[in-house]
Amino acid sequence: MKAIDEQIVSSDKVFANTLMKKLSSMTFDRSRTVREHIMKMIDIAAKLKLLEVDMSTPFLMHFVLNSLPTKYDPFKISYNTHKDKWSINELLTMCVQEEEKLKHEMSESVNLVTRDKKNTIKDKSVPMKKKNCLDKDTYCFCNRRDTERKIF
């Protein structure tokens, strides 16, 4: 029984180490919402607390703020200069509001690529009907410089 208890303790330490590495390397990459990102960080902190690795709320809040991209810098400055201390739920709510604000501020852009007609070289691929093909709708594109045929 004693050996099993020792194995559980050592595996808990490894798991806590893994969770700490995961928490410290988390950054908000917009692959999910800011709410999901923060909730994931809170979940990891709760798992660490169960493993007797206590993390204070202010420490976790700074971890969360540091994981946000530079677009959130005005928000971070606002938090740091604010005299009141927020709870983690207030931080979560404020971050979601900031995310919505940033989405509305983000302008949509389209890149247009044009070619100057004077300097363009005519397209060298010419569609041709494949000669020895069973399928009537198969074409190949031959590059005039190469003898290689690309079949689509």
Q: Mean pLDDT across the chain, nearest whole number?
A: 78
CA pair distance 62, 4, nearest whole angstrom: 37
SS3 135: coil
pTM (2 d.p.): 0.61
Chain centroid to CA 60: 20
Joined tokens for residue 120: 């363009």
Joined tokens for residue 110: 């389209």
- What is the percent of the chain where pLDDT is above 90? 40
CA pair distance 47, 56, nearest whole angstrom: 13
Is the pLDDT at 119 greater than 90, yes or no? no
SS3 130: coil
What pLDDT band is residue 113 in, cutting at 50, 70 and 90?
Answer: low
The string of pLDDT tens digits covering residues 68-108 is 999 999 999 988 888 788 889 999 999 999 999 988 887 65
pLDDT at 111: 64
> By C-alpha distance, which of 24, 30, 72 is closest to 45?
24
